[in-house]
A = this chain, B = another copy of it.
Amino acid sequence: MTNKPATIKEIAKKLGVSTSTVSRGLHDHPSIGLTTRMRIKKVAEELNYTPNQTAIFLQKGKTFTIGVILPELSEAFFSAAISGIEDTANKKNYHVLMAQSHDNAEKEKHLVEKMKSHRVDGLIVSVSKETSSFDHFTNLRKHNIPVVFFDRIPSLDNVHYVACNMETGTIEAVTYLLKKGHRAIAMINGPSTLLASNERKEGYIKAHTKNRLKYDPSLIASCNLTEEGTIKAMDELLANKRKPTAIVAFNDYVSLYAIRYARRLNLTINKDIEFVSYANLPLINFMDHVPTASVEQHPYLQGQKATDILLDLLNNPDNAQQAFYKVIIESQLIENNKTIGSI
């Protein structure tokens, strides 16, 4: 008997009223008398009634669900981001349908289809590394499904996005090192295909010119973000005529690879060479030899903002087609306060 969930019909029958009355009663519609309203709610309680959302979805043509497609949940950055998404979505009674592309363009395409057929109200996406065509996203506009991108933004005009400006953080980082007296500051950058790499480079250059120092291109090395790539880049930089005394690394991992390698070369961290990096991973707190500072990219905040934007788009559909949200979160240099220090 408690087998199938109770419906509005049953509670209507039990009270000898119509289903419409029950529906309105449950929603406190003014045209339903107070007494019947109470009786309805009482029976609903007794029968343990919970509205069947799928029916409501069908009827309203909305699902109150937002789809999230991101590359890889196990990356700390993304799990923090989805945490932000989830929290703010839930606050507004929206649900989150999540899926990972595993950085596979084909899979990403499929996921978009799935989300579409699931009739998500909107989509939040951080695109896969390998995605080169964005048709599956632009097509969504025809279906009136707004999309908000975060962090990994497609090179498209007319999209909503929130991203972190790496330039300012980089300027901070380089300036921080300059103030500490470093003059030969190198950078291990990421692949030049990434927007984020360019921002870093720009920041690096601007920080130098701002401080009336000339920018030395040979102090910037690119790498593919793997450990081997990092080592290559290190070799390249250390072989330079101007041997760097500080290095800005693309992210905390690259930085840790580099530090590990530097120590293998018997360089003393923070004496022979100092590191600054990006991401500000929590693991930093447990380590002895770490970058002295790290540029925080606020993944949780990015998730929050992206959700805010999407929800706004959903509630004011007119906004979606004309103006485009381009929210830039300023990255921020954070010094690592090492409780132990390098003993």
Using a CB–CB distance below 8 Å, which chain A residues touch chain B?
2-5, 50-55, 57-58, 63, 65, 72-74, 76, 79-80, 82-83, 86-87, 90, 95-100, 113-114, 116-119, 142-144, 256, 260, 263-264, 281, 283, 286-289, 339-340, 343
A252's closest neighbor in chain B, by CB?
Answer: B286
The reply to whether B96 and A90 form a contact with Cβ atoms under 8 Å apart is no
Task: State A50–B136 Cα separation when bound (angstroms).
Answer: 14
A49's closest neighbor in chain B, by CB?
Answer: B117
The reply to whether A52 and B99 form a contact with Cβ atoms under 8 Å apart is no
Known: A73-B86, A144-B3, A288-B288. A118 touches B95 (CB 8 A): yes
The copy count of this chain in the complex is 2
- List residues of chain B with CB within 8 A of the CB of A76: 74, 76, 79
- List residues of chain B with CB within 8 A of the CB of A114: 95
Task: State A55–B264 Cα separation when bound (angstroms).
Answer: 61
- List residues of chain B with CB within 8 A of the CB of A117: 50-53
Which of B118, B144, B260, B288 is within 8 Å of A289, CB to CB? B288
The reply to whether A54 and B50 form a contact with Cβ atoms under 8 Å apart is no
Task: State A289–B288 Cα separation when bound (angstroms).
Answer: 8
The reply to whether B63 and A74 form a contact with Cβ atoms under 8 Å apart is no
Which of B3, B82, B90, B99 is within 8 Å of A90, CB to CB? B99
18 new A-B contacts at CB < 8 Å, known A52-B119, A76-B79: A2-B142, A3-B142, A5-B119, A50-B116, A55-B58, A57-B57, A73-B73, A73-B79, A74-B76, A74-B80, A74-B83, A86-B99, A96-B98, A96-B99, A260-B286, A264-B340, A287-B287, A288-B288
- List residues of chain B with CB within 8 A of the CB of A116: 5, 50
- List residues of chain B with CB within 8 A of the CB of A4: 144
Which of B51, B90, B98, B119 is within 8 Å of A53, CB to CB? B119
A300 nearest CB across to chain B (Å)? 8
- List residues of chain B with CB within 8 A of the CB of A73: 73, 79, 82-83, 86
The reply to whether A96 and B95 form a contact with Cβ atoms under 8 Å apart is no
